[in-house]
Structure 1
Amino acid sequence: MGRKKKKQKREVDELLLDAIFSIEREWKQVKSIVGRSIEPSFDGSSTEKLAQSKYLFLLREAKHRKISAIRYSK
């Protein structure tokens, strides 16, 4: 793999990790709100499921790309 391709892969991997952390925070916030609700609305539950699905999809992509957050810690 050329030097330029390695740099591009690293940049994409870092963007993917940033997205994972962002979606994880979103999912946990929505989950917390829904969990504290007396009667969670359908919108709240579906928003939580959507955020969870995004998070799990991104985790699978990271696993497929064989990337680790430890390697890219800043």
Structure 2
Amino acid sequence: MGFLRKKKLRKEFDNKLIEQLMRQKEEWNRQKRLIEHSLEPSAEVLHELNVAEAKYFFYLREAKKRNLRIGGWK
């Protein structure tokens, strides 16, 4: 009985991780576009870009560690 619950929880958290990964990728791309369109990006905007990039790669590493497949890629 405990095994089935554990499997269900893992699947639920894997799905949440995938959602967070995709959301963070969109945020990182939004920040990059903002920098590209800025004449003189401020230090705060550059910092937010670095934070968004770090979060995205954190989620990506975690997804790879869990061997998750998203749309045909690992």
TM-score using structure 1 length? 0.89
Confirm whether residue 29 of structure 1 aligns to residue 6 of structure 2. no
Q: What is the total number of aligned residue pairs between the two structures? A: 71
User: 1:38-71 CA deviation, whole Å, 9 max, x = no partner?
Assistant: 1111011110010000000000001111111137
Counterparts of 2:64 and 2:24, CA distance in 1? 16
* RMSD value, Cα: 1.4
Question: Gaps (5+ residues) in structure 2?
Answer: none
Tell me the equivalent position of 1:10.
11
Tell me the equivalent position of 1:47.
48
Counterparts of 1:15 and 1:69, CA distance in 2? 12
Give me the identity figure in percent: 32
Question: Gaps (5+ residues) in structure 1?
Answer: none
TM-score using structure 2 length? 0.89
Structure 1 outlier segments of 4+, above 3 Å: none
Counterparts of 1:70 and 1:38, CA distance in 2? 36
